Every structure is written in C-alpha cells, then in structure tokens.
C-alpha cells in the first residue's frame, strides 16, 4: 500500500524544482502575465536543463513530461519504508515536481518547452517505436471542440484512412489547445467512424508544421496568460498511419478505453498543478496573517482561535486531502494499478480545493489579496483553469459516480 509521506529518494528533485520555482518562475511571473502571448525566452535554457536531468536518469520526472505507463514489474523494495512489491516511479516524481513548479507559476510551467500534457498522453499509449520517434519533443493535446467540451465522446473531428497512401486524413476544428502554437507536436483526438460512437475515437500525433492543421487564433484568457491557448482548423490534414496512438481497431464492447488511458496519466498531473498553486496561496497568507498579528496555533481547537486562524487551518486540511489524493493516483499509475476513479477523484478534489483556497486566501488578506504588487490575485485567476481542463468538476463527479455505482455512460448521464 502507499505510504503517504514523500519518498526520501525524491527529496533532491523536489528541492531542485522548488529552487527553479522560486528563482526562475516567480521573478518573471507578472511579466508574462501582462505580456500575454509573448514567448518566455527565459524558459528555453530551463527546458534544456530539465531534459538533461531526465535523460541522465538521475531525476526521472524532472518536468511535466515525465509521467509514463508505470513499470512492467513492481519493485521488490525501495528503501523508503514501503511494503515489498511497490514502486515510487516517474508518475509520482512528476506529480511532486509539478507541485513545486506550480508553487512558482502554473502558466510558466505549461510554457516550458518539452513539458506539455500531450507528452504524457503519448507516454500513456504509444508503442516503443512511437516513443523512439516522438519522445523528447514538445507535444500539446487537442481534444475540445466547439460542440464537444467535457463530453469528449461527442467530438466531431474525423479521421478517414486512405489505403492508397497508408495515411489518415483528419478534418475538423479544435479549440483550447494548451501550448498549441509553440509545441512541436499536437495529439489530436478524432473519430474513425462517427456512426459507431465513442468506440471509434482515436488519438493521432500531428506535426505542428503540418500544412493541413492551420492556426485559427490565440485566446485571450483570465489566467495562465503566459501559456498560449490555440484554436486549430484541420482541413485534409494527412498523417501517416504510424501516427495513430494505440490500436486502429474499433471495438464497440471496449469503448474508447485506449484513448481514455491518457486521462489516467494527465489528471493527476493537473491535480498536482492545483495543489502547488494552493500551497503558494497558503504560504503567502500565513505570512500575511503573522505580520497582522494573527496567530495560527496547530495545537488548539478551531473554536478557541480567531475566525481568521480557524479558516486558515480548515483550508490547510483541505489542501492536505487534495495533495494525498493526488499522490495516491500517481502512485497507483507507477504500480500498474487501475487508477481511473482515483485520477478523477484527485482531479475533482484538487481543482475545486485549489480554487476555494485561492479565493479564501484573498478574503483573509483583504486589500493585499487583490493588489497587483503581489501574486495572490494572479494565482486565483490561474488556478480556476485547473478546475476546468482535463474534464470539468461536474464531469469528474459523473465519472466517479458511474464507477462507484457500476453504471454505463448511457445509464447515468
């Protein structure tokens, strides 16, 4: 079973990620919040360092692209007080490093070259040959469409196989593609046969330079303004058959479980982003309360403390719950345990908790919480997206309910 303490072997990685967040990300956070759509050039060097750290094997999961399928065989022991047959691997280390990086800035983390959510999507279902071809390149993920938001089974983008050229031809529209303009690759979800429904949905790796995928616009956003969010038009976009992730077979009984494995990897990472942002808000607010003379006593009952201290302690408890649920989902992925429901629970809890904590901290900090001389108001704008993308709060609760009640999507809508 999972040990809920942070593994000792990841402490150096966590320390490095925290240093990057403090020394690199926070100093430029406001600059690129104001300069929306301007590429943060300072992150190019950071990306090279992260890639070098991961390639060396010394710090697996140094960035957001580190999550993978989990080990083929569980470890016989890891020296961290865990039971035999468990492993702390790249999914957990990635989640923990993301928490620290997002303590610095969520939008800038999403802007680090090579650290896109599409990379985790590729790692979730790619073949060894695909990993060799596309591994290490920056990949965005394109799921959402104007008519298909959280209900990814309703996507209308099509992929038709051209036997003469051994290619798939993609047609459709994709919106809200995080890092879509800057990434080298885009993982596009499309249907092989819309009449079949969700079972025909597959994901395809598309080169960003593909002439059939045209950038339509960049969105102006409330938060994570350092990260570009793109909309694309796919018009006769041809990709080789080898660019299809997973099996090309349409299995009605299996549904689209293959592409949904993507979310088992990425939802814990989004939860980790929310946890990191929430921690930033709490740390700032704790210092503000101390400066205002408000004592937070961890040994006294809430009812015997000031209203401000009691509210702060309640928010910290919610933060701890979100963090531990996120660690659990990532740990299960490392140990090849089915984690779909846990991934959705972590995402639902962390997304909502991060938002609640950010605005709760603004309430406690008063005017200090809304001034642009501090980053708290920015964190509150940034964290809201983490309650939305990779499946909204409502969709996560629906997924959890289906799994717990044993209902299908047709039975419980």
Looking at the annotation, which residues are catalytic? Answer: 390
Phi-psi category of 369—alpha, beta or left, where left has phi over 0 and alpha has psi -120 to 50? alpha
Long-range own/partner contacts, residues 144-153 (CB < 8 A, 24 or more apart): 144/174, 144/175, 144/176, 144/177, 145/172, 145/173, 145/174, 145/175, 146/173, 146/175, 149/392, 150/391, 150/392, 150/394, 150/395, 151/395, 152/189, 152/201, 152/391, 153/197, 153/198, 153/201, 153/256, 153/409
121: Cβ–Cβ under 8 A, 6 or more apart, which residues? 139, 141, 187, 203, 245, 262, 265, 266
Using an 8 Å Cβ cutoff, are 208 and 184 in contact? yes
DSSP of 230-267? EEEEEEEEEEEGGGEES-----TTTTTHHHHHHHHHHH
CA–CA separation, 345 and 394 (whole Å): 11
CA–CA separation, 33 and 127 (whole Å): 38
Distance (Å) of CA 171 to CA 42, 118, 157, 162, 329: 36, 20, 6, 13, 35
Using an 8 Å Cβ cutoff, are 105 and 379 in contact? no
Residue 82 per-residue DSSP state: P
Of 263, 234, 230, 278, the residue nearest 110 (C-alpha)? 230
What are the φ and ψ backbone dihedral angles of 7, each rounded to 5 degrees? -60, 140
CA–CA separation, 43 and 163 (whole Å): 42
* Residue positions counted in the chain: 413
């Amino acid at each position: 079973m999972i040990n809920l303490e942070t593994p000792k072997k990841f402490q150096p990685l966590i320390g490095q990620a925290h240093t990057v967040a403090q020394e690199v990300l926070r100093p430029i956070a406001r600059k690129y919040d104001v300069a929306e759509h301007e590429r943060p050039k300072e992150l190019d060097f950071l990306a090279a360092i992260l890639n070098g750290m991961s390639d060396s094997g010394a710090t697996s999961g140094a960035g957001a692209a580190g999550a993978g399928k989990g080990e083929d065989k569980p470890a016989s022991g890891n020296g961290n007080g865990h039971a035999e047959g468990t492993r702390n691997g790249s999914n957990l280390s990635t989640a923990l490093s993301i928490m620290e990086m997002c303590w610095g800035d969520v939008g800038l983390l999403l802007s680090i070259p090579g650290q896109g959510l599409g990379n985790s999507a590729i790692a979730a279902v790619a073949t060894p040959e695909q990993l060799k071809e596309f591994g290490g390149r920056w990949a965005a993920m394109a799921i959402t469409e104007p008519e298909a938001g959280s209900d990814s089974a309703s996507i209308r983008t099509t992929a038709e196989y051209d036997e003469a050229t051994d290619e798939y031809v993609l047609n459709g529209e994709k919106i809200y593609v995080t890092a879509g303009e800057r990434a080298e690759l885009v993982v596009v979800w499309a249907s092989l046969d819309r009449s079949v429904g969700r079972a025909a949905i597959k994901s395809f790796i598309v080169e960003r330079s593909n002439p059939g995928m045209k950038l339509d616009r960049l969105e102006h956003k409330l938060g994570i303004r350092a990260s570009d969010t793109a909309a694309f038009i796919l018009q006769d976009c041809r990709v080789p058959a080898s660019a299809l992730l997973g099996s090309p077979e349409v299995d009605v009984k299996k549904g689209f479980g293959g592409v949904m494995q993507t979310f088992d990897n990425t939802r814990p990472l989004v939860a980790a982003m929310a946890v990191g942002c929430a921690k930033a808000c709490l740390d700032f607010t704790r210092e503000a309360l101390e400066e205002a003379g408000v004592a937070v006593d961890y040994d006294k009952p809430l009812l015997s403390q000031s209203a401000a201290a009691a509210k702060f302690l309640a928010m910290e408890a919610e933060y701890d719950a979100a963090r531990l649920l996120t660690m659990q989902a990532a740990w299960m992925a490392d140990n090849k345990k089915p984690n779909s429901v846990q991934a959705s629970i972590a995402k639902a809890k962390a997304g909502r908790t991060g938002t609640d904590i950010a605005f709760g901290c603004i309430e406690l900090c008063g005017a200090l919480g809304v001034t642009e001389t501090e980053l708290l108001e920015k964190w509150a704008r940034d964290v809201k997206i983490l309650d939305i993308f990779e499946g909204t709060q409502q969709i996560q609760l629906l997924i959890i309910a289906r799994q717990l009640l044993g209902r299908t999507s047709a039975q419980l809508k």
